[in-house]
């Protein structure tokens, strides 16, 4: 059980680092990539606000700007990242 939990934490950490690095270095490519593989506009907007630009916003700031509850924001973010990972 502990190994599974540790694996998930490490996995999500590396996904976050990879998305942040791509969004920072190649913002135009990141936006096109997101628009190709993430279906819902709100999910796309969350990823773009979170990972691109100089002022990459925190989840609290994104929730406030979009008028969404923070717990729902985490679910949208997770759904968007999972759609990127499972994209073919």
**SS3 for 39?**
coil
Crossing angle of helices 27-37 and 41-51, rounded to 10°: 160
Output the CATH code of domain 2-85. 1.10.10
Give me the residue spans of the domains in the chain. Answer: 2-85
Tokens 């990141």, residue? 30
- The set of residues, in sequence order, having a beta carbon less than 8 Å from that of 85 and lying 6+ positions away, is 15
Per-residue pLDDT of the chain (88 residues; tens, 9 = 90+): 677 787 778 888 888 889 999 999 999 999 999 999 898 999 999 999 999 877 788 889 999 988 989 889 989 988 888 888 886 5
pTM across the whole model: 0.80
């Amino acid at each position: 059980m502990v190994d599974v939990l540790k694996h998930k934490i490490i996995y999500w950490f590396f996904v976050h680092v990879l998305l942040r690095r791509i969004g920072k270095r190649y913002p135009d490519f990141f936006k096109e990539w997101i628009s190709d593989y993430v279906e819902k506009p709100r999910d796309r907007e969350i990823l773009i606000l979170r990972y691109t630009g100089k002022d990459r916003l925190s989840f609290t700031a994104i929730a406030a700007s979009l008028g969404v509850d923070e717990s729902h924001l985490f679910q949208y973010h997770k759904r968007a990242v999972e759609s990127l990972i499972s994209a073919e």
